[in-house]
Every structure is written in C-alpha cells, then in structure tokens.
A and B are shown apart, each in its own frame.
Chain A
Amino acid sequence: MINKNNIPEISAEKFKFVGTDEKIHDQKFETKQVSYFRDAFHRFCKNKGSVVAAIIICILLVYSILVPVLCQTNYTLVPTDTTYLEYGKLLPRSGLFVNMGMNFWDGAGKQTLGEANYNALRAIGQETGHEIIKKVYEVRTDADGKSVYDVRVDSYISNGFTYLTLTEAQYKAIQDWQLETGVQVIYPANADKTVSNANIWYEANKKGVAKLDKEGNFVNNYRTSGGDGDYYSLRVEGDPGIEDPEASGRYRYATVTGDSSSISYKCRVFKYTYFQYRYGEEPTFLFGTNDKGQDIFTRLASGARFSFIFAICIASINLVIGAIYGSIEGYYGGWVDMLMERFSDILSRIPFMVVTTLFQLHLAKKVGVVPSLLFAFVLTGWIGMASTVRMQFYRYKGQEYILAARTLGASDTRLMFKHIFPNSLGTIVTSSVLVIPSVIFSESSLTYLGIINLDSATRTSVGTMLANGRAFLSTFPHIIFFPALFISLLMLSFNLFGNGLRDAFNPALRGSGE
C-alpha cells in the first residue's frame, strides 16, 4: 500500500505539457471494415455441411418455382381435358437413361407374371412393334407345373390400348397425322364386339386368355366385315388393304355410330402413340405418374411451390407480430410483461390441431381453405418468435449504450427499433428461417391426415401426394417415393442450414444443439 505521505513532494514547475501544439487522433484502421453480416457470412461459409444444405435448398426452390412456370404443357393443367386419366401409374422414366439402354429409370419395372398375363403383354408388343419385355430374368415352373416369368416390363407400352370415341374431325386429324409421321395410332378393331378389353386383338377365350396356334403364335381376330371408306391412312401389317385399297377382307379401323349429322367413330387407339399425336412428344414422365395419370414431377413442384410460399408468408407474419409483441414485452417489462406473457401462455397451450380444426370448420367456407389455414398457423405461431425477441430485449436493454442513448433523449420506439432490435437481428433471423421447415412439416402432416384438403386438378400439396400414394405403397412405390424424398431432403437441409446460421450469428453457441 502506498502511503500518500511517502510520495515525495514534486513541485508543479517540474511538470510540462507534451505536444500541446499537435492534435491527437485515433489511428485510422488500415484494414477494410467488416460488417456483422459479412462476418457471419464468412463464418457460415466455413461450415461445409451448411453450405451444401443451402445449395440444396436453392435447387429445391428453383425446381419449385421454375417447373410449374415452364412446364405449362403439363398434361394435367387443363381441367376439361381428361386424356391424362389414361396414363396412370406409369413408372419414372428419364429420356437419358432410355437412350443409354440402361435398365434403370427407363419406365420399366420388374414383374412376376403367369403364362396368360405374359402372353397378353407379348401381344401388345407384337402388334405395335415396341419392345415391351425389356429383359427376361428367369422363367421357372411353379408348384402346379405352370410357367412363371420374371420379366422387366416397360410400363409405358404395357399401358396398352383404349377405345376412344372420336368426332369426324378428330378421326380425320389422326389419320392425317399418321400419314404425315408414319406412326400408327389407330389399330383395327376386334371382330368380337363383346370384348371390352382394348388390348385384345387376337383369338381369346372369354377370360381374355389368348388361344395360340400350334407354333405358339397369336391368331389375329381383326374385324373385316363392313365398309371402311372413311379410313385412308396407315394400315397394320397383314392388312390386305395395304396393297389395294379396294381389296376384300380389309381390316376395319373404327365402329361408326350415329347418323350423318352427328357421326362418331369408336376406335382402338394405342395410348403411347396417341400421346405423341396429342402432345407432340413421346410420353416421358421423369418421376412417373400417379394413379390418376397426373405427372408427379410437375405436381410435386407446384405442391412444393405452394408450401414454400405459404411457409415464407407465415414466417414473415410471425416475425412482424412476434417482433412487435416481444419488443413491447421485453422493453417495458414489469406488469406489462406479466400480463402479455400470461396471454401468450394461454394461447400457446391450445393444441394446434384444435386451432386448425376450428378455423377450418368456421372460416374455410367463408374465406377459403388456405387463408383459414394461414390464420391457424399465425394464431399461435408468433408466440415462439415473441419469446425469442423478448429474451433478446432483456439481454440488451440494460446495457450502457442504451443508457447513453436514453440520456441523449432517444424516444422509446427509437431505442427499441434502432438500438436494441438490430443487435438481436442474428438470433431473430435464425429462428424465423427455422419456422419455414416446421410450417412445411405441419402443413404436410395436416394435408396427409386429410384434415386440410388442398387437392384439386391444378393445386396440390406434398402431404396430399403422400396420402394418395400410400394406397400404392406396395404396388407402385414411386408415387410416394418422390414426395417423401423431397420433404426429407428439404427438412434435412433446412436443419443443417439453420444450424449453420445459428453458429454464424452466435459463435458462442457453436455446437450446442448437435
């Protein structure tokens, strides 16, 4: 301890001022200024997993925004055109893999068939000249001595034929198209008018099982009776009409009904080439089609787009309400805080399912399903955001710089939104980004359970696609696979992305939730 008395007396004259004639400044930094967000961005980029996650999210976003806009030729967009119903349950097929000749993603699937079914498929292949059986894995004999075929079947070809009723103009248009392109769409009708299965063109018994000749070939059963003056286009092989349009025994390509004023033609149409005629391209569905024949690729994209827009709307509404509410709570404290906390406490205790259901029952008819769902999400959703903001306000409001600002006469709103709020922005951004996946998850759960119905010809949601696909889980797993993959990927990347954001904005919390 230094005793005051021990310090020797030094006279004032011995002190002199240093540098009274020069002004002293702080040294200016030579380095470039790094803002808080730039700093956070640098930290974020160091986390490889989060960057990858961010890229995946971007890809999914681009997919969901661009695909519904660019794929306007989607076969499900016109509500009155029900042609797409004929193309149900087609397997995923990518043109790339088909051209490479790989047994993968080529629209074909493994099937185990009995003799009759195998022949039925072979018949389609033989008539149309398309390769229907891509590969024969094994032919074995089962316990009853019958042959069983393990084969790879092209689902686009095995989709087969259908009977279409055409007007005269449509009938002629198809014939002209056939002549122009040389692709057969209309095939001769079966002589037996009672056969409703359009795939059968051969002699068959009542169950539709083919009667083969001695060499094991199909015996054709094309209709030859009646005139066919209306048909002038391509004819199938073996038709006497190819040589001579007037020859006898020519095949008939349509069943004519109605009188001359409203004449209609019922034709046996090969769906694969009919698709080419209708839409100008071979049917190729990247993710396959669902049971109704709707393209999963575009439908998933439009469902995802809806989910994204919806979630972003809710995140921003929650952010605004929560920020204002939480700021007031945290800034004023005391009884204001107490009252407001109790209010949000009670609100947050209402089970979300109850809120959704009540909103759905009361509002859905008046304002529509989507707005009422939005209200339900917002009603309790902002509470989490409010408590985050409140905590941040408690953290910052006692600090000296706030006291300084208050002393200088800053108003309450200025203190709240100019001084405290920007400081807590990092945490708030992180938690509002994490609202997005949780909203998408809840929305897909609700639509999956059928509590919310967002399904129509032009609109859908990921949850509805999952619910529809569930019935075909064992037979056509691709219907459920792509929506499930999408939502898993989305959730995983959002979680990684959120972790990365949190670490970047609050380096002190790094690694605490892993």
Chain B
Amino acid sequence: MSTLKYVVKRLLFMLVTFFIIISLAFILVRLLPNVDAKQFGKDMSLILQRRIRQGLVDANGNKIPIMLQYFNFVKNTLIRFDWGVSEALYIGQDCFKIFLSKLPNTVLVNAYSSIVAVPLGLALGIYAALKKNKWQDHVISTGVMVLVSVPSYVYAFLIQYFLCFKLKLFPLIMEPGTDFFSWPMIRSMLPAVIALALGSIAGYARFTRAELTEVLTSEYLLLARTKGLTRGQTTVRHALRNAMVPIFPSIISEVILVLSGSLIIENIFVVPGIGALYVNSITSLDYNFFLLLSSFYTLIGLAAGIVVDLSYGIIDPRIRMGSRK
C-alpha cells in the first residue's frame, strides 16, 4: 500500500515539475520576437493561419498577451495534442508527425547499442572483478578508464576515420529511408551503434566491477564457501545477486533512455533522429519543434528518474522507497 502511495506521490511531483519547466520554457520562448512568417513566401498564410488557430496571434497577425498565449498552448497541447507546425525546418508540416517519423531512427540506434552494451559491459565487469589485481583486470580497468574519460565524439571520429574511411567497412553516414531492418540500413547504423556502445560498455563494466569486488570480499561469501559451495556457485548465487541491486535500476532506465538520442553521435554519423532534429531546431530557431522536443526530453529524464527509484524496491524487497526512518 505504501508503495502505491509512494508511486502516486512521485508521479504527481513529476507532473508538477514537468509543468513548471514547460511553462517556463514556453513563456521564455514566446517572449522572443517571432520568426517572421513573411520570409517563407507562399507558406506565409499557412503558418499565419496555424498561429491564429493555435492562439498565438490574433486575426490580424498581432501578438496577443503572453498569458493568453500560454493558456491557449496548454489547451492545444493537452486537449487537441496540437504542437503546431514547423516554421523553419519543414515549413508548414506538422511538428508531431515529423517527430514521430524521426523517432524510429533514434530508438533503433540506441536499442542496438544497449543490446550490445549491457551484456558486454556486465560480462567485462564480472570478469575483471573475479580476476581482481591480475593482468586481465588491469587491462580491462585501463581500457574502461580511457573509454570513460575520452569524450564519445573523439572515438566517434576515430571510428569514422578508421572503420568507415580507411577500411571502408561501413558507409560514412547513415542511409536514409525507412527500411529499418534491411542489411544496408543496419550496416550503415553500425558505426553510430559502436560509438554509443563503447561508452556505455565502459560505464557498466566499471560499475559492475566496483559493486562485485565489494560484495566478493564480504563475510557471507566466505561463509558460503565454507559451507562447501564452489566458487562459481557463490559468485552466481550469492555475490552477483547482491551486486546487481544498484546496477539493475540503471539497466531498467536504459529502456526509457533509448528514446532520447545522443545529440553529438547523431550529428557525427548523420543519423536522421530526434537528436539531430533538436539541434537543428535550436540553430534554425524553430520554436514549435524546440518546445516539443524540450518537453519530450524533460519527460524522458523525469520518467527515467522515477523508474530507477521504483526498480530499487522491485529488485531488492529490503529497500522500501520513500519509507520513513
């Protein structure tokens, strides 16, 4: 019962936070001078119509007071789910439709990378922890240190230069199109997937190694060994389970974070995903896109936070989230 109460409380707080952030973002964005619709030529009337329908300007094209705009915005997005049309990037097209069409690219690239990174990272971390202070551990730890420290775009450049350009294993940029499961498409995604995966492999390996080494030195493991369990049995049945308590939530949150793209990696490998869309919307001042994507990223971040906290309780019943002391 208390868990349910806790969940509801967290969800409510999340909604309030989300609302505050988006309201601030909306008001700050709309206080800026509008991008002049006239520069779009024949699409002008269309954009103007949309702005009137969205309640951003009155029938004569003049700005209406910001608070009124804000109420209209809330009404539009909540009730009609209308995020307006693109005013600079894809002139006149519906923002939300474009957003939906870009989402699969990001999700696929991230999903492939997670599928590779999580098992590999865990395996490396476990191996390093079992071989603690031997040469295998030193090699893995050094590699992890390098990969964690070096910015992801640097090894993205290295991958692009050596794998794509010198060895010609992959195309330089991602293939356009929607044929997501064809081999050329997957092959063209691979450089981005590798670049994304390397960092998170290193992250998981480091995390797992730290947790597992701590558990492996604990007394109850010694007891288990004294009782006659083999080393493998103690590791798998006793050490790993406890070590996974802090690791598991981050794996769970990976499922949600798959939705949010890496801005830089998408930029380098020209992945036509939402990360690239976000950057473009900022540089070309497409406010509707900016608001939509900002809301999206904010929501993802908030949701991931909640999922992490809740999954602590699921994986380890001893932890009661939100309980009093």
Stretch from A16-24, A353-361, A382-390 contacting the other chain: A353-361
A346-B20, A470-B157, A470-B268 known; A441 vs B151 contact (CB < 8 Å): yes
Interface residue total, chain B, C-beta cutoff 8 A: 45
* Pairwise interchain contact B154-A488, C-beta atoms closer than 8 A: yes
Within 8 Å of chain A (Cβ to Cβ): is B145? yes
Residues of A with C-beta under 8 A to B17: 345-346, 349
* B149 touches which of A470, A477, A488 (Cβ 8 Å): A488
Surface stretch bound by A, among B49-57, B181-189, B250-258, B276-284: B276-284
How many residues from A make CB contacts under 8 Å with B?
36
Tell whether A495 pairs with B145 under 8 Å between CB atoms, given A346-B21, A474-B161.
yes
Decide if A349 touches B21 in the complex (CB within 8 Å): yes
Contact mask for chain A residues 468-508; partner B; CB cutoff 8 A; 1 contact, 0 none: 00100110010010001001100110111000000000000
- Which of A154-162, A295-303, A311-319, A445-453 is near enough to bind chain B? A445-453
Does B112 touch A at the CB level, under 8 Å?
no
Is A350 located at the chain interface by the 8 A CB criterion? Answer: yes
- CB of A495 within 8 A of CB of B25, answer no
B251-279 Cβ-contact flags toward A at 8 Å (1 or 0):
00000000000011001100000000011
Given the complex of chains A and B, what is the CA–CA distance between A451 and B282 in angstroms? 7
CA distance A459 to B301 in the complex (A): 35
B28 contacts the other chain (CB 8 A): yes
B290 within 8 A of A: yes
CA distance A345 to B17 in the complex (A): 9
A361-B206 contact given A441-B151, A487-B151, CB 8 Å threshold: no
CB distance from A362 to the nearest CB of B (A): 6
B contact face: mostly helix, strand, loop, or mixed: helix
Main secondary structure of the interface of A (DSSP, over half): helix
Check B297–A351 contact: CB distance below 8 A: yes
Any chain B CB within 8 A of the CB of A466?
yes
Tell me if A353 and B165 are in contact (CB < 8 A). Answer: no
B residues 140-168 in Cβ contact with A at 8 Å: 141, 145-146, 148-151, 153-154, 157, 160-161, 165
Chain A residues with CB under 8 Å of B25's CB are 354, 358
Structural contact, B148 and A495, CB atoms closer than 8 A: yes
* Residue A280 at the chain B interface, CB threshold 8 Å: no
Is A449's CB under 8 angstroms from B157's CB?
A: no
Q: Are B206 and A514 neighbours in the complex by a CB distance under 8 Å?
A: yes
Q: What does the 1/0 interface line of B17-50 toward A look like (CB < 8 Å)?
A: 1101100110011011000000000000000000
Q: Are B298 and A349 in contact (CB under 8 A)?
A: yes
26 A-B pairs whose Cβ atoms sit less than 8 Å apart in the complex: A349-B305, A351-B298, A353-B263, A354-B297, A358-B28, A361-B28, A361-B29, A361-B285, A444-B151, A445-B151, A445-B264, A449-B279, A450-B279, A466-B157, A473-B161, A473-B165, A474-B165, A492-B150, A495-B148, A496-B149, A512-B210, A512-B214, A513-B210, A514-B141, A514-B145, A514-B206
Residues of A bordering B, CB below 8 Å: 345-346, 349-351, 353-354, 357-358, 361-362, 441, 444-445, 448-451, 466, 470, 473-474, 477, 480, 484, 487-488, 491-492, 494-496, 511-514
Q: A445-B263, A466-B157, A470-B157 are in contact. List 9 more A-B contacts (CB 8 A).
A: A349-B18, A354-B298, A362-B32, A445-B153, A484-B157, A492-B150, A494-B149, A511-B213, A512-B210
